[in-house]
Structure 1
């Protein structure tokens, strides 16, 4: 099992948007970084844990616990000329960009960056590294456990299933 931190701007897709959607599941559209795409394509598996992170907002931080709910598949926004994520060089027979579906299991009180930085056991968490701007980063199991208090396999709870 792998663990991930996935950033979303609340105006694009907030944890509340995800919870309000069918099965609390949303397609993670708009990733336009090859390394982040490769994480989805090559390393993410259904059931992997996700720290849902709000970025580019008044209080950036971890706002929810989620899981990867699908394998990677082509992001349809790359083919839509009206989408801000349109990519004229991407073709349906050779898509450049992929996405996974993410299912929010529960919303948590925001764990803002200063609170994360104040915890010595999280010093190596990638989102805290200077210059790290990736929208998707791997999370070490020890960091996942320190943040969630659990090393359990991520499963939807009764309300989220």
Structure 2
């Protein structure tokens, strides 16, 4: 189970983005998730492909397990070697990785080192509303602060 927190206990504005970043917001966390998504479950694979210092990686992996993003389990039936696997909460981070990849390919690198292929064409990401099916446009969104004592400008 994911380690949830009361957003009103955070410094600053109560915010799910801030709470998420406390769980997965350091450099190594999303790189670990990337590697597990790519099928690299063993510590040595994750260390090699992230470039993380081994001591930091150990701490980060333990934190992601404790937070409910990853779980440890045998790499194969009957094996005594364990690997890291995504939990349901970790699986939901695939969408975040796709968005970061698209943003990074557009804004962070001179030449994209990889892209995603959907059937026979490069994947172009779009958001759509799962309730009505419409593509989501910023102009159609309203930010609505529901935490008591706050509005969009800040604390009341």
TM-score (norm 2): 0.26
Larger Rg: 2
Higher relative contact order (CA 8 A, sep 6+): 1
TM-score (norm 1): 0.26
Q: Going by fraction, where is strand more abundant, 1 or 2?
A: 1
